[in-house]
Amino acid sequence: MMTELEHLFLTKFGKTFSVKKGISLLSQGDSQHKLYYLHEGIIRAVHHSPDGLERVKEFYFPGEYSFLYLPWLTGIPADYTLQMTTDGRVTEMPVNILSSSPLHEFSYALLKQQLIYKEKKYRCFF
């Protein structure tokens, strides 16, 4: 469920639109300028190797934010393509908004959520 802060964030800074299956929201090797809140559909983060292999890092589902943390935090180009695997609807916002001081609470919540997700993912090795 979306919090009041999230709703305000999306309404004030975002642009909502429909996206068709197969459309890339961010291409591997590009600089990341946007983040996406997924209302409907599924997004995948996929790496395309030079020999043509596809390696999927993760999927994003409705109610989640889709963007790559490493390019956001370091400014490096994207190692993955963010691609719609189904038709969907997203709200697009500038990723640099996460670094603005009024949104530090929101950025912290995103980082915390991602860290918890990563730690839980590695619990399968126990």
What does the block give as tokens for 52?
Answer: 């043509």
pLDDT in tens, 103-116: 677 777 777 777 77
Alpha carbon distance 92, 14 (integer Å): 5
Q: Which letter does DSSP use for residue 2 in this model?
A: -
Provide the pLDDT for residue 42.
98
pLDDT in tens, 9-63: 788 889 999 999 999 999 999 999 999 999 999 999 999 999 999 999 999 999 8
Instruction: Tell me, rounded to whole angstroms, the distance of Cα 95 from its chain centroid.
Output: 10
Better-predicted residue by pLDDT, 3 or 76:
76
Long-range contacts of 106-110 (CB under 8 A, 24+ apart): 106/5, 106/6, 106/9, 110/65
Alpha carbon distance 41, 72 (integer Å): 23
The model carries a pTM of: 0.83
Provide the pLDDT for residue 38.
95
What does the block give as tokens for 60?
Answer: 């994003």
Of 38, 32, 33, the C-alpha closest to 10 is 38
